[in-house]
Amino acid sequence: MELQELDVIGIKRGRLGQMKPETRKGYILLCALLWSAITFLLLQHFVLTPVVVEGQSMTPALKPGDCRLVNCWLPLFRSYHRGDIVVIRDRKKQELMVKRIVGLPSDCVQVRRGLVYINGRPLNEAYLPSQTYTEPRKLGNQTFQIDRNCFFVLGDNRSASDDSRSYGEVNRADLLGLISQRRLF
């Protein structure tokens, strides 16, 4: 028995060559559209996912209605950094949240006198409007030691944000990706 070669789309070369030119063009177009749709869906789900910002917790950096891309792929190649804006999966509420990473694994975080302290030093938060006051909420004045593979996140609009001051650290597994700095539209 003789093996027949297969072309890229899986049809025996002889059969594709026997099709009428119009049918062959239509078949090739259909296959190209199908592969494009599959590629788009995979990219959208696993690499770049569009999100629309809801709520005021990240103003002024992100405003309600802003459409941004979430890069789900980049964190596989580099670690998260302080200041990164990330999308978080809240398992209890079954919703997504957008917050800024301020505390990294093994950091000691404390909120006192309206400022965030990381490892005993005030955090430089140039992205916040001047005179922003950070309330400690449930943390009180205690120092919070961040576990391995966890992060401490805050919203930029501190008075309107439900964040790590209320629910504690966020596990890396719940970070879906990085928010792009540019608006889509």
What values do phi and psi take at 24, rounded to 5? -60, -45
Candidates 12, 20, 25, 99; catalytic one: 99
E-assigned strands of the chain?
Answer: 48-52, 67-71, 85-90, 95-103, 108-112, 115-118, 121-122, 144-145, 150-154, 170-171, 175-179
Confidence at residue 185, expressed as pLDDT on a 0 to 100 scale? 58
pLDDT band, very low/low/confident/very high, at 1 (cuts 50, 70, 90): very low
> Which pLDDT score, from 0 to 100, does residue 14 have?
57
pLDDT over 70 (residue 7): no
Q: What is the pLDDT of residues 137-159, one digit of tens each?
A: 887 778 899 999 999 999 999 99
> What pLDDT was estimated at residue 46?
66
For 105, residues 6+ apart whose C-beta sits below 8 A from its C-beta are 146, 147, 148, 149, 150, 151
Which one from 57, 92, 159, 164 is the annotated catalytic residue? Answer: 57
Q: Checking phi first, is residue 149 left (phi over 0); if not, alpha (psi -120 to 50) or beta?
A: left
Band (pLDDT 50/70/90 cuts) for residue 10 is low
Is residue 92 annotated as a catalytic residue, yes or no? no
Looking at domain 49-179, its CATH superfamily turns out to be Umud Fragment, subunit A (2.10.109.10)
Question: Per-domain residue ranges for the chain?
Answer: 13-46, 49-179
- Residue 19 pLDDT more than 80? no
CA distance 116 to 131: 13
